[in-house]
Structure 1
Amino acid sequence: MAPWSLSFWLTYEEVLSLMVANVPNRPKESKLKKFVNSRIPITEWLPKYTKNDIVADFIAGLTVGLTMMPQSIAYAGLAGLSPQYGLYTAFIGSFTYIFFGTIKEVSIGPTSLMAIITQSYVDGLPIECVVLLTFMAGVVELLMGVFRLGFLVEFISSPITSGFTSASALIIILAQLKPLLGIKSHSHDFLMMVIEIFENIGETRLPDVSLGMGCIMFLFAIKRISRIQTRNRNLRKSLWFLGISKNAICVFLTSLLGIYLHECRGGAPFKLTGEVVQGLPSFSFPNLTAVIDDKPVNFKGMLESLGWGVIVVPFVAVLANVAIAKSYASDVVVDANQEMMTLGFCNLLGSCVQAMPSCGAFTRSAVASSSDVRTPLQGLYSASVIMLALSLLTPYFYYIPKAALAAVLITAASSLIDYEIFPKLWRTDKFDFLLTIFTFVVGVIFGVEIAIVSGALINMIRLLKVWTRPVIFTFIRSGRQGREYLYLKPELGLYYPTADYLTEYIKKQHKNHKCPMALDCQNVLHIDYAGCKALETMLNLYNDKEVQLILLNVSPIIKGKLKTVLDKNNLIYCQSSNEICDKAFDLQICSEEEVPLTLSNGNKNDNLKERKLSLYDNALETMLNLYNDKEVQLILLNVSPIIKGKLKTVLDKNNLIYCQSSNEICDKAFDLQICSEEEVPLTLSNGNKNDNLKERKLSLYDNV
């Protein structure tokens, strides 16, 4: 991350990168070579390319290309564009990702989500504005990658993504009812589309409805048939190929029907796609002028007409692309910044061939994964299929029925609605469940961009509440002679948002309990000036010998900061709980008992173990996937029953290894009964030399 982003997050990708970096013994590389390999990944994997990889990538690329071709035509129509623009987007995205992409399964091209968002910003505008939107999306994505702003994606949680994706799917389905029914409608607002469909229902064309419904039933039937389990290997492969090529088969068969009726019967009874420009596009820089409403408009005017699209479109594209990359990156750590730069290059080059905004697609990535893809070079074969279609097949695209394309989009959009997440969210986190419903409703009524922004704001407010009202473990501990002291342990660090709250909380405890207080600073990895002054206020409360404030487990870095800010020499430090008795009561031995008092974060009846902190993420699942063999294992220590229940609900894994003590780790990891442990500093790397966890600025502002 960039230096300024260090003061914000230690994301779980960094934790994963630390874990992955230390699993195998990797040879050292020169800095220049490492940099080139990280920015142009083809330089790393191409020298290792084998004949087996060629065959596997050819099969995968061919199948992805056959899937992408009808999708590109349909998605271009969804965006309100001619079919050729979807094909331009498909081949340039696939080709560019070969050089800069990091995940072999990702296929860059037009998607339903990008199409529906693009359409909302370019409706009624000329193609020059669409191309400029693609160019600006590439610029924004490239800048986000260069300035390492990948952490911004973390503000969009899985529930928000599921909510706005499901809303987009519903909008797509409703929008495709118009060509499916053969009626005209010019509105793209959800509620207005519903009204127009009901108003024009009398104009429904029976041939379009019959063909469209037949295609939908055909596509769902093929999808069901392809999932049949059989022991016959050849039959299993045939069913698999049938399943992944169902869209191409549907479009091909209906095109033959359209050709026959149009050429032999004097005209097709259903609406056809129409003329498609033949051949590959010329490579040129996007036009910075256009004619809008019969008036010439310059670059500034074009940007004004696009509005917030230049920000929303690239942000959604990055979000979708990183989500796909994480889903299929089981053995590598996803470099979100590299993926953003790659997507930026795809859109920048795409704007030079009149492409629409693009990103990765879950459906094509699933096809590539099931095809046993080996490297991103499969994009070369996918792009070749699209270029052949542009060169040879465009005259036949004229005969593709619009109802068939609508059926392809409806079946594809139906798979975007995540039905399974709702019961899981209800069982794990009611807040996330309500957030998903909220994002979905807002997306349907007001638009996807409003849903994303509002969902992210709610998540940020929730995080701010957690930061400003941290959980504080509070116990009454008693020594061997019955002498009691108050034990407090804040969950988070001591920063200016939490300083006042912690001060007021300790004042309240001081008023209620006239006994020494031990403030455990084990979780305080960083403290700012406001935090130091808050400690000074606390120390002023405990200025007599009978009632003292003792600081427990304070790191040397924190001690140095306290010494710099506070003008006090009477700070009492302890490194173990036994020392508390010595310094507070002049006792040498202290047999302690813990009596739960309160666990406060500003809410009544709130308990840490029952706290809902949005577990529905794939962070832990990704970590577990890294450690899936017997030699290198990931063991979960001190997991509460509540958290175990949530993990069991969300993760489909039975091989989780739990330990309740550190000695058990050796038993389960090495089959040893006794484990003499030594701690060896590893390294927490964030790209800077001499960087240590304790010295990290604002470091781990979470309990990851």
Structure 2
Amino acid sequence: MITAIFYRGSFYHRIGGIYKMKLPFDPRQLVGKLFPIVQWSRGYNASTGLGDLIAGVTVALTLIPQSIAYASLAGFEPQYGLYASLLGGFVYAIMGTCPQINIGPTALLSLLTFTYTNGTNSDFAILLCFIAGIVQLIAGVSQLGFLVEFVSLPVVSGFTSAASITIASSQIKGLLGLRFSAETFISTWKGVYQHIGETRFPDTLLSLACCIVLMGMKALKDVRLKDSRDEKNRRSVVLQKLFWFAGVARNAVVVVVASTLAFFVHQDKDEPFILTGNITPGLPKPTPPPFSTSIGNSTYSAGDMFSHLGTGTLVVPVVGIISNVAIAKAFARGRTLDATQEIIALGVCNVASSCFRSFPVNGSFTRSAVSDASGVRSPAAGLYTSIIVLLTLALLTPYFYFIPRAALAAVIVCAVLHMVDLDIVKRLWATSRLDIIPLVGTFLCCLGLGIEIGLICGVGVDVLLLLYYHSRPPLDVQYIDDPQCPHYAIRPVGGLHFAGAERVRSKLSDLKRTKFIAAMPLETLTIIPDNDLRRSDTTDGIDNNSTPETNSIIPAPVDTIIVPSTVVGNGVANLNNAAITSNRNRGSESVVRSASVLVIYCDALYRMDYTFLQSLKMLVTEWSRSGLIVWCDARPLVRDQLNAVLQESLYCDTHQLRTVLSGINIAERAAVTSDTQL
């Protein structure tokens, strides 16, 4: 016999007279969620492994020259780019969920690393990598991934486009063989203008040739032969695959050819090309991240290093999260994406990589696209890529001496230019022109003020737009010219917050003070004739024969009206006092009648904050002096909020509204008769 008891949050099962604790969660499910390799490795076979091997080798041919170039972009020696490419593939293969993603150095994070560590040493970049990983882990464990959604797509597009132009501009000096230091977009072009007379012709010619070859080989990847789909025509199929492979491996091909050329024309005394130079061979020794360092005769403590990194400890991990989640969504193809697990995996990659002297890393869209086109099957492809990087560090680093910097600059420029998104301007112009403001604002601020400040400015513009939208909630006011009881009707949608409280109150107060409908602004009022009343109800989504599903109030009979106790006690007297329009005040039929009844349909309203409720209380007080407000289809939460600030409220369901309006009309007529007798 097995019995169970619950004690202090845990279950205990009694088996054979012994109580054994049962955890409130399944450890196997937790391990499988935290380490997805446990799940996908069960069905791993030779066919899947072959696809991953091909993808891993192909990505490595793109990654190795890119990592060397990105190390230069970050301001460090080439081997640090290989260090940054070493461990990400191993860790992501264990914890990642998207087969296409390749973790390693990217142009954007390399630029940000240079921004925050320029003028220091590699220890600052390694510490930045560690802190970025810790922040990403905290965000993932705390389920804070949803915060990324508050950065809109126009801001992300403006940020990446400006970063791409900044990165490409920073490589101009490499393309022209110039030597000067510059940090920002403006200072780079200023330096180019000042040193243009020092341009080296051999480097310029080599970089131009590399750019032409890279763009041409990229076009080869997209070439489609007519007979390539016919499997019987082997020649066309093989030629198609060769074109594709040449386009994918273009970076490696250009670097190898340029290095070979530099080797043959190299002279000890006179170098025609600026070369990469000596690269420290061997694998990095695993060590904890540095929390103190020395630059010259100065020693920096952990506090000094954190102070120097400043906002980079937040900007770098946030940018990494945005990029990684965006790439994972792009390749999810309808599958459910565990964004939290992606953030945790990225955090572990950065923390582990910092122990191998890496600067911050994240997923690369370019390499992910190459992996996808190579037929990747699982995250295990990253294992093969990292193994090739490991062999490169152990065996090939002495041969990197002759890589021309002009070739690396060409690789970076051709890799980032496609990140400039011009099509989004056309899409925003056709769909939401107001979103062009954060796009252009982010773009210009990033170019003029710096990448990190530009991103903050873009988020700030987004916040201002959100406040603008909240301060102008949609409020369509309609005048229903009902022969029984003319009234105004509004249907607020969503939540009403403090930003729009005064605007809504002012708008409805002006409506109340208006004596004739003809004086109302046309943009805020729709006049509906008597014969269109039924049609207007249907248009507004009001069905007299049904009750909204969101209404949890038990409908009363048709002849029963849910009214405050004072109304019930005094019969129609209160309805008489609430009516502002009387028969004696109505002029000729050519003059449109005014209305004292305001019907607020609450079926699409789900929340009001405290400030709005207080403003609403003042509105109800003003309106109730000579009119009446009817709350139709109020949700239980909305009703509770209203009851907390209003003493008496008149509620009804949609199918009861006609009866309520009839009762108001009867009260109005009774008031007119009483006044006439007096």
Alignment of 1:467-486 (within 5 A): 467-479=470-482, 481=483, 483-486=485-488
Q: Indicate whether 1:414 and 2:417 are aligned.
A: yes
- List runs of 5+ in structure 1 lacking aligned partners: 1-28, 589-704
Measured in 1, the distance between the counterparts of 2:439 and 2:499 equals 28
Closer, same or farther: CA 31–529 of 1 in aligned 2, 3 Å: farther
Give CA-to-partner distance per residue, 1:426-456, whole Å, 9 cap, x none.
2222222233222212111111111110010
Measured in 2, the distance between the counterparts of 1:534 and 1:419 equals 44
Deviation at 1:587, TM superposition (A): 9.2
Question: Could you tell me whether the CA contact under 8 Å between 1:533 and 1:566 is conserved in 2?
Answer: no
Measured in 2, the distance between the counterparts of 1:455 and 1:95 equals 35
Deviation at 1:581, TM superposition (A): 2.1
1:556 aligned residue: 636
Q: Indicate whether 1:575 and 2:653 are aligned.
A: yes
1:456 aligned residue: 459
2:248 aligned residue: 244
Deviation at 1:31, TM superposition (A): 4.6
Question: Could you tell me whether the CA contact under 8 Å between 1:61 and 1:382 is conserved in 2?
Answer: yes
Measured in 2, the distance between the counterparts of 1:365 and 1:229 equals 21
Closer, same or farther: CA 497–432 of 1 in aligned 2, 3 Å: closer
Question: Could you tell me whether the CA contact under 8 Å between 1:131 and 1:286 is conserved in 2?
Answer: yes
Deviation at 1:465, TM superposition (A): 1.6
Moved more, 326-335 or 555-564: 555-564
Q: Residue type of the partner of 1:116?
A: L
SS, match of residue 476 in structure 1: strand
Q: Residue type of the partner of 2:605?
A: V
Measured in 1, the distance between the counterparts of 2:404 and 2:636 equals 73
Deviation at 1:536, TM superposition (A): 3.5
Alignment of 1:594-605 (within 5 A): none
Question: Could you tell me whether the CA contact under 8 Å between 2:127 and 2:291 is conserved in 1?
Answer: yes
Moved more, 107-116 or 485-494: 485-494
Which residue of the other structure, out of 502, 509, 529, is the alignment partner of 1:507?
509
1:547 aligned residue: 627
Measured in 2, the distance between the counterparts of 1:60 and 1:30 equals 37
Which residue of the other structure, out of 62, 76, 88, is the alignment partner of 1:81?
76
Which residue of the other structure, out of 402, 426, 429, is the alignment partner of 2:429?
426
1:141 aligned residue: 136
Moved more, 439-448 or 553-562: 553-562
- In the alignment of these two chains, the number of paired residues is 554
Question: Could you tell me whether the CA contact under 8 Å between 2:485 and 2:661 is conserved in 1?
Answer: no
Question: Could you tell me whether the CA contact under 8 Å between 2:67 and 2:82 is conserved in 1?
Answer: yes
Give CA-to-partner distance per residue, 1:658-684, whole Å, 9 cap, x none.
xxxxxxxxxxxxxxxxxxxxxxxxxxx
2:199 aligned residue: 204
Question: Could you tell me whether the CA contact under 8 Å between 1:532 and 1:566 is conserved in 2?
Answer: no
1:630 aligned residue: none
Which residue of the other structure, out of 313, 321, 325, is the alignment partner of 2:324?
321
Q: Residue type of the partner of 1:416?
A: M
SS, match of residue 526 in structure 1: strand
Question: Could you tell me whether the CA contact under 8 Å between 2:617 and 2:645 is conserved in 1?
Answer: no
Deviation at 1:304, TM superposition (A): 1.4
1:585 aligned residue: 662
Deviation at 1:338, TM superposition (A): 2.1
Q: Indicate whether 1:255 and 2:259 are aligned.
A: yes
SS, match of residue 525 in structure 1: strand
Moved more, 322-331 or 377-386: 322-331
SS, match of residue 199 in structure 1: helix
Measured in 1, the distance between the counterparts of 2:279 and 2:444 equals 37
Question: Could you tell me whether the CA contact under 8 Å between 2:73 and 2:110 is conserved in 1?
Answer: yes
Closer, same or farther: CA 82–517 of 1 in aligned 2, 3 Å: same
Closer, same or farther: CA 209–529 of 1 in aligned 2, 3 Å: closer
2:602 aligned residue: 521
Deviation at 1:348, TM superposition (A): 0.6
Closer, same or farther: CA 535–206 of 1 in aligned 2, 3 Å: closer
Q: Residue type of the partner of 1:494?
A: L
Deviation at 1:95, TM superposition (A): 1.3
Measured in 2, the distance between the counterparts of 1:535 and 1:422 equals 40
Measured in 2, the distance between the counterparts of 1:37 and 1:542 equals 60
Question: Could you tell me whether the CA contact under 8 Å between 1:77 and 1:83 is conserved in 2?
Answer: yes
TM-score by length of 2: 0.78
Question: Could you tell me whether the CA contact under 8 Å between 1:487 and 1:519 is conserved in 2?
Answer: yes
1:54 aligned residue: 49
Deviation at 1:527, TM superposition (A): 3.3
SS, match of residue 98 in structure 1: helix
Question: Could you tell me whether the CA contact under 8 Å between 1:473 and 1:491 is conserved in 2?
Answer: no
Deviation at 1:558, TM superposition (A): 2.5
- Let me know the Cα RMSD of the aligned residues: 2.1
1:228 aligned residue: 223
Measured in 2, the distance between the counterparts of 1:58 and 1:178 equals 38
Deviation at 1:425, TM superposition (A): 2.0
Which residue of the other structure, out of 112, 115, 123, is the alignment partner of 2:118?
123
Measured in 2, the distance between the counterparts of 1:308 and 1:334 equals 29
Give CA-to-partner distance per residue, 1:182-210, whole Å, 9 cap, x none.
11111222222212212222221111111
Closer, same or farther: CA 310–54 of 1 in aligned 2, 3 Å: same
SS, match of residue 573 in structure 1: strand
Question: Could you tell me whether the CA contact under 8 Å between 2:441 and 2:457 is conserved in 1?
Answer: no
Which residue of the other structure, out of 97, 104, 108, is the alignment partner of 1:109?
104
Q: Residue type of the partner of 2:620?
A: L
1:623 aligned residue: none
Q: Residue type of the partner of 2:88?
A: G
1:663 aligned residue: none
Closer, same or farther: CA 495–204 of 1 in aligned 2, 3 Å: closer
Closer, same or farther: CA 235–504 of 1 in aligned 2, 3 Å: same
Give CA-to-partner distance per residue, 1:552-572, whole Å, 9 cap, x none.
11112322343345433xx22
Measured in 2, the distance between the counterparts of 1:292 and 1:282 equals 21
1:159 aligned residue: 154
1:491 aligned residue: 493
- List runs of 5+ in structure 2 lacking aligned partners: 1-23, 229-236, 515-593, 666-678
Deviation at 1:501, TM superposition (A): 3.2
Percent identity over the alignment is 35
Closer, same or farther: CA 478–154 of 1 in aligned 2, 3 Å: same
Deviation at 1:482, TM superposition (A): 5.6
Measured in 2, the distance between the counterparts of 1:467 and 1:31 equals 43
1:277 aligned residue: 280
2:522 aligned residue: none
Closer, same or farther: CA 326–203 of 1 in aligned 2, 3 Å: same
Deviation at 1:484, TM superposition (A): 1.8
Question: Could you tell me whether the CA contact under 8 Å between 1:476 and 1:487 is conserved in 2?
Answer: yes
Measured in 2, the distance between the counterparts of 1:143 and 1:214 equals 46
Deviation at 1:403, TM superposition (A): 0.8
TM-score by length of 1: 0.75
Q: Indicate whether 1:400 and 2:403 are aligned.
A: yes
Deviation at 1:155, TM superposition (A): 2.2
Measured in 1, the distance between the counterparts of 2:255 and 2:369 equals 20
Q: Residue type of the partner of 2:102?
A: S
Q: Residue type of the partner of 2:487?
A: Y
2:307 aligned residue: 304
Deviation at 1:293, TM superposition (A): 4.8
Q: Residue type of the partner of 1:552?
A: C
1:669 aligned residue: none
SS, match of residue 388 in structure 1: helix
Closer, same or farther: CA 95–87 of 1 in aligned 2, 3 Å: same
Deviation at 1:319, TM superposition (A): 1.4
Measured in 2, the distance between the counterparts of 1:353 and 1:34 equals 31
Greater Rg by CA? 2
Which residue of the other structure, out of 161, 166, 172, is the alignment partner of 2:167?
172
Measured in 2, the distance between the counterparts of 1:418 and 1:155 equals 20
Q: Residue type of the partner of 1:555?
A: R
Deviation at 1:531, TM superposition (A): 4.2
Deviation at 1:542, TM superposition (A): 4.4
Measured in 2, the distance between the counterparts of 1:153 and 1:248 equals 35
Deviation at 1:511, TM superposition (A): 1.9
